[in-house]
Structure 1
Amino acid sequence: MPNKTLADQEYKMFSDFLEQQCGIVLGQNKQYLVKSRLAPLMSQFGVETLSELVNRTLKAHERELRATVVDAMTTNETLWFRDTYPFDLLKNRLLPEFAAEGKKSVKIWSAASSSGQEPYSIAMTVDEYNSQNPGTKSVKASIVGTDISNSMLEHCKSAKYDSLAIARGLSTERKSKYFQDCGNGLLQVKDNIRRAITFRHLNLLDNYTLLGKFDIIFCRNVLIYFSPEVKSRIIGQFAKSLNPKGYLFLGASESMTGLSDDFDMVRCNPGIIYRKKT
């Protein structure tokens, strides 16, 4: 019978490893999370105990195992149009604002794409805005989706979702308009939406310079996993990655208080967005 327990010292060493690799802070008493995420990998890598899996992960030469473990620990559940208001603000406030300024093209970054729902929701929102505002008010969007998980990026690129994933936050109207049946019980995002997005691998602890400059950054429900020092560093890099007066979306439970002086908080009804100071 496989042993899925982990000694306190092993958990501490693994927690330190995970924070060093990708900034995620597990904190105390999250052994259950490590067990649920890593136990499925035991048979894949031919180990009998969770302890052995963790100890092998800590060895520098175990590159494939390390990558798979980090992948498993950083994969998050998500849904379409999460929290609703960021996409309403994008369609009803930000895109009209850019259009009024004569900006015909905007660049948007989804900084933690997970399985793709956020960047595809952004692309659908832009399409809906343009359908309602043809001609001079329309805005072309170039969207970049990044994630640390290679398996999630492959899922994003395939743009195929089962009925359970489709049911999480997607209206019947959007399902009909933006998806096509591709067999085997799966629906695929239509080509016109997929073409708006480029997916790339990125660790938020790394440098973002090569991504270029953006008008809007979505980084929602991600910073909660990082220490205050890492949060501050990431937000500082976001500020450098934004054009003047660019916008940053954080998660509904996330705050920039005490982390950065680079942004003005803009209170909306509902929700909050952050605008880069000029």
Structure 2
Amino acid sequence: MSAELDPRLLTRAREVVSSITGFRDDAIANEAMERVVRGELARGRSSADLLGEMLFPQSTLSGTLVRAALVGETYFFRQPEHFRYLSQVGVPAALRRGSLALRGWSAGCATGEEAYSLAAALQASVPHGFPVEVLGTDLHEASLETARRASYGTWSRRESAPRLFPLYLDGVDRQVTILPVVRRITSFAQSNLLAPLPERFGRFDFIFCRNVLTYFSLSAREAAIALLARALNPGGLLFLGAVEADRVPAGMVREGTPELQTFRLLGPGESASPTPVPRFVERAAPPAPLIRRPMATPVPVRAQVTPPPPPARLHLEALERIEGGDVDGASAVLESLVRQAPDYLPGLLELALLRERSGAREAAVPLMRALRMRAERLPPDQLVDGPEALPARFYQASADAYLNLGALE
């Protein structure tokens, strides 16, 4: 049986991580903190030594705790709708404004897949030879070292994220290498989202900060979004994750449909008038109502009944329907999925977000509560199967972020 730890150690460890990262306390996996602390104690260090070192945010121990708490889940062209919007709407608008170069920032880029995806999307969307550059930043230097190597395995490529633009070359052992032309315009630097980006990096036309702020406390999230907005050029676009902002940030207007979570920084003298939804993201006309046809012949008792599809397959079908504009069809698939597999966390989250985007918050809240309750039963670091494997704490943090934001309204 494991020896009891001084409770002050874990409490202080969580405080250190929260102060550095902005993470909510309940988004910090206790198991990760305990693993680090026990490892230090096993090396012969005393509780007093550890408490003393944790007084200094720049200490080696503080850095180790932060790395243990970070979630580095990422892959190429995650949330493809953002890259399509960037290419089809964002880049043409920037060129019309007379931009002489386009700059992108992947904030919280982890191991770099998002930064390279952003660079590939920009490069493929501008005239040949037009200047483009992308910066990727993260708090974890080891992740940035991986990004600079520009070599990735199958985990960075997912079926749920199409290869939208030329990005990599296939190599041996299922490894891929980022194209030199993409790698050449992408750089990486260490940075904290709770601190202003150093002025030497300049301003950006496009900032991607997605699926990072989910873990932040409300005050830290608002502070980070304000800092991101300050780094945009007038007219620049900020792309956020699905549940990371419930209102339009100050000085910005929403771009596209609400589910895009994309915001444009207003220019001098510009008012916050509604922006038309670009043609490519307009929803198709609602499909005709489903007609319930009577069963022709009852299924015999001994007949072979086809088992329902695996949850992830139904989830992918729903995502395809959403991408095609068939919101009603996607809703029907997700409702069926939640009935068949009530413990499938990705399905609960997807249906809740679909309800929220449709303006039915009263129907989304119970789903988010169910999501939180089921996620709490799992070990925080346990990966949950779905179109993308994410730790259980991601789902708990997503539900908490949504429910906490809703409580403030």
TM-score normalized by the length of structure 1: 0.80
Pair 1:196-2:181 in alignment? no
Relative to its length, the structure with more strand (as a share) is 1
| 1:117-266 mapped onto 2 (5 Å cutoff) | 117-130=113-126, 134=127, 139-167=130-158, 171=162, 177-181=166-170, 183=172, 186-208=175-197, 209-257=199-247, 260-266=249-255
Q: Structure 1 pair 168/194, CA: closer, same or farther in 2 (3 Å)?
A: farther
* Matched AA of 2:144: L
Provide the C-alpha distance between the structure 1 equivalents of 2:57 and 2:213, rounded to a whole number of angstroms: 29
Indicate the residue corresponding to 1:93 in structure 2.
89
- Flag the structure with larger Rg: 2
More divergent stretch after superposition (78-87 vs 9-18) = 9-18
Q: Percent identity?
A: 25
**Matched letter for residue 122 of structure 1:** L
Structure 1 match to 2:63: 67
The CA deviation at 1:123 is 1.4
* Contact 1:25/1:226, CA 8 A, preserved across alignment: yes
Partner Cα separation in structure 2 for residue 61 and residue 213 of structure 1: 28
How many angstroms apart in 1 are the aligned matches of 2:102 and 2:56?
41
Q: Does 118-127 or 67-76 show the bigger shift?
A: 67-76
Which amino acid is 2:202 matched to? G
Displacement, 1:129? 2.2
Number of the residue aligned with 2:22 = 23
Structure with larger RCO (C-alpha < 8 A, sep 6+): 1
Structure 1, unaligned runs of 5 or more: none
SS at match of 1:27: helix
Unaligned 5+ segments in structure 2 are 268-409
Contact 1:71 1:150 in 2 (8 A): no
TM-score, with structure 2 as normaliser: 0.57
1:33 and 1:100, CA in 2 relative to 1: closer, same or farther beyond 3 A? same
Query: 1 CA distance for matches of 2:3 and 2:159?
Result: 31
Contact kept, 8 Å, 2:117 with 2:167, in 1: the verdict is no
Change (3 A) 1:184 1:158: same
Question: 2-side partners of 1:21 and 1:224: how far apart?
Answer: 16
CA offsets 1:165-219 (integer angstroms, 9 cap, x no match): 3346564786xx5323555653221211101111011011222233211111111
Which moves more between the two structures, 22-31 or 77-86? 22-31
The 8 Å contact of residues 204 and 233 in structure 2, kept in 1 or not, is answered as yes
Q: CA RMSD in A?
A: 3.4
Q: Distance in 2 between matches of 1:96 and 1:4?
A: 61
